[in-house]
């Protein structure tokens, strides 16, 4: 599943598509957008931004302790 793969490490859409058995990255992107509601690259950017925010929040909590 792309969600899990992108959480493990940053990968290109082509690599995710190939690992999931898609021979065509464009078709994978089209299917991904249909079910997730955004292109894989946008999803990847949002996931990365969320990860950064979680780290910042964790750092603030540690500083307050």
Kind and range of the H or E run holding 58? helix 40-64
Tokens of 60: 């603030």
Task: Yes or no: say if 19 and 33 are a contact pair by the CB < 8 Å rule.
Answer: no
Residue 37 has a pLDDT of 96
Statement: residue 1 has pLDDT above 50: no
DSSP 8-state secondary structure symbol assigned to residue 21:
T
| pLDDT tens string 27-46 | 999 999 999 999 998 988 88
The per-residue pLDDT for 38 is: 95
- Mean pLDDT, residues 1-19: 71
Q: Given phi > 0 = left and psi -120 to 50 = alpha, else beta, which region is 22? A: beta
Burial of 40 (0-12, 13-18, 19+ CB in 10 A): buried
Task: Give the chain's domains with CATH numbers.
Answer: 2-64 (1.10.10)
């Amino acid at each position: 599943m792309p969600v899990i793969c992108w959480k493990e490490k940053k990968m290109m859409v082509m690599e995710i598509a190939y690992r999931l058995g898609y021979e065509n990255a464009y078709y994978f992107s089209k299917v991904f957008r249909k079910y997730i509601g955004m292109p894989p690259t946008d999803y990847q950017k949002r996931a990365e931004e969320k990860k950064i925010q979680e780290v910042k929040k964790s750092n603030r909590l540690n500083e307050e302790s």
